[in-house]
């Protein structure tokens, strides 16, 4: 069986490797991206602003990735973040995220009654919130996060305060797997985000025939089609198990 390439992010995490290996799929993991807390002069001030809004003004805290929580922890400290969430919880702030892993991380920090849409995507979260009364949202996020909340909810009376607290960037040096990818040695590549797609196409503009692009959701798949990267397969759900089952199905 040919190997499957998992496009990784230095400083990120996911469960795809475990899910694929448990199904007997040989994998290669290689970082094409870096994820790290912002280091510019106003990064700490933005993080402090997030904590202030959580504690005092925001009606909702929306976190779409664990990377945002790790960045806030690095910039202001876990104790301060936990204290702000506790204060916000006591005054009734609502909390939402897009996946079970991030929900668990928020719970560890003291958040309760966390809203998670049935489908773990930002678009599903936007639809869920759009059916609720408008409110003020504080949303710590990454430098390449999509602006779906602001564009989708802003016109409905929601006030979206998006603060960039971490940076996602393409690695500077060519990944060791890029030449193998270009040569067609992989059966498939798993893409978890449009950012991952853009990072790969920096080094390999198009997948060779016989190598499939397996996307974790429709937003990533749309970017793959826009980039004309090659044959695209979309997982029916973004969970690691669903993506792994999709890979197994196409390999069979």
Among the listed residues 152, 121, 118, the one whose alpha carbon sits nearest the alpha carbon of residue 137: 152
Length of the chain: 252
Residue 185 predicted with pLDDT over 60: yes
Enumerate domains of the chain plus CATH numbers. Answer: 3-33+172-251 (3.40.50.10090), 43-164 (3.40.50.10090)
H or E segment to which residue 60 belongs: strand 60-63
pLDDT digits (tens, 9 = 90+) for 98-144: 888 889 999 999 999 999 988 777 778 888 898 899 999 999 999 88
Q: What is the pTM of this model?
A: 0.84
pLDDT digits (tens, 9 = 90+) for 217-228: 888 999 999 999
Instruction: Dump the DSSP string for 123-137.
Output: HHHHHHHHTS---EE
Q: What is the mean pLDDT of the chain?
A: 92
């Amino acid at each position: 069986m040919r190997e499957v390439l998992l496009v990784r992010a230095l400083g990120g995490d996911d469960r795809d490797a475990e899910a694929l290996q448990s199904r007997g799929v040989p994998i290669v993991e290689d970082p094409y991206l870096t994820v790290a807390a912002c280091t510019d002069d106003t990064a700490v001030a933005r993080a402090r602003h997030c904590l202030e809004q959580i504690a005092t003004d925001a009606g909702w805290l929306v976190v779409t990735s664990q990377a945002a929580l790790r960045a806030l922890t690095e910039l202001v400290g876990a104790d301060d973040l936990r204290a702000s969430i506790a204060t916000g919880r006591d005054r009734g702030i609502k909390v939402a995220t897009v996946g079970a892993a991030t929900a668990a991380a928020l719970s560890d920090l003291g958040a309760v009654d966390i809203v998670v849409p049935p489908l773990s995507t930002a678009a599903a979260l936007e639809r869920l919130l759009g059916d609720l009364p408008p409110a003020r949202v504080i949303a710590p996020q990454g430098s390449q996060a999509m602006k779906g909340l602001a564009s989708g909810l802003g016109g409905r009376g929601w006030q979206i305060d998006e603060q960039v607290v971490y940076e996602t960037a393409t690695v500077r040096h060519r990944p060791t797997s890029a030449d193998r990818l270009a040569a067609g040695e992989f059966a498939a590549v798993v893409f978890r985000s449009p950012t991952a797609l853009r990072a790969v196409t920096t080094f390999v503009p198009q997948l060779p025939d016989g190598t499939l692009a397996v996307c974790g959701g429709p937003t990533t798949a749309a970017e793959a089609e826009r980039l004309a990267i090659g044959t695209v397969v979309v997982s029916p759900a973004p969970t690691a198990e669903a993506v792994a089952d999709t890979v197994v199905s196409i390999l069979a």
